Copies of this chain bind each other. A is one copy, B any other.
Amino acid sequence: MTESKAPRAQPAYRTGRIEAFSDGVLAIAITLLILEIGVPAGAGDDLLAALGEQWPSYLAYFVSFATIGAVWFAHTVITEYLEHADSVLVRLNLMLLLVVSFLPFPTKLLAEYVHEPDAERIAATVYGINLLLALVMVSVVWRYAVREHLVSPDLADEDVKTLTKRLTPTLGLYVVMILVGLFLPIAAVVGYLLLALFVLIPFGAIRHRPTQA
């Protein structure tokens, strides 16, 4: 990053507690998801069939788990290059955590109403919007950090561009999926699963470890 560093208006914070708190909230959000899958009651006669009927719960569980996993993975890439934070970045990070820790609610909503014609459209839309907001906030946190020169000066401009592209690859596709969800809710949810898995694809070759200046 050749541009000379703009003078800091905001006080600087160490990133240690932001990482620990974010790890904590994301770990809890991802682990609470299992509480939303209820054990079928009174299904002793045909437990296998009863478990099978709950497939929407498993699908919603895996999509939410993969999406939160992808958000956590992107968050670690951001903090890998973050030199320090400022109080605005702390608040943007809190908003990211707010959106992600809200996810168990639409996950349960989807699992509960996926069999009911009208309601499943609403549930899939609320679910899609929550996923989109989570990934938008990841991008907002990263772009703010880059704009405010909070990232490591050793990070080459080329890498910043690649990372920025990588951290917001699929936002457009999420919008498309939300629209699809208005007509084919289940197809949209399968789409979200594929998108989450795509986001989890390693940040591989694009980013080699910057040689410390």
Contact = CB atoms under 8 A, between A and B. Distances in A.
A24 B28 contact: yes
B9 A205 contact: yes
A78 B10 CA distance: 17
Contacts of A10: 202, 204
A104 B47 contact: no
Contact of A102 (B13, B34, B204): B34
Interface in A11-40: 11-14, 16-21, 23-35, 37, 39
A94 interface: yes
Given A35-B104, A48-B122, A207 B90 contact: no
A23 B34 contact: no
Contact of A209 (B12, B72, B108): B12
A34 B101 contact: yes
Given A39-B108, A47-B122, A76-B17, A34 B31 contact: no
Chain A residues touching B, majority SS: helix
A47 B113 contact: yes
A73 B94 contact: yes
Interface string A174-213: 0000000000000000000000000010111101110000
A11 B113 contact: no
Interface of A: 9-14, 16-21, 23-35, 37, 39, 41, 43-45, 47-48, 51, 61-62, 65, 69, 72-73, 76, 79-80, 86-88, 90-91, 94, 97-98, 101-105, 108-109, 112-113, 116, 118-119, 122-123, 126, 200, 202-205, 207-209
27 contacts: A11-B209, A13-B80, A14-B80, A17-B19, A17-B23, A20-B20, A21-B27, A24-B26, A25-B30, A25-B31, A27-B28, A29-B31, A31-B101, A32-B34, A34-B105, A39-B109, A41-B112, A44-B119, A45-B119, A47-B113, A51-B122, A69-B94, A69-B97, A69-B98, A73-B91, A73-B94, A87-B203
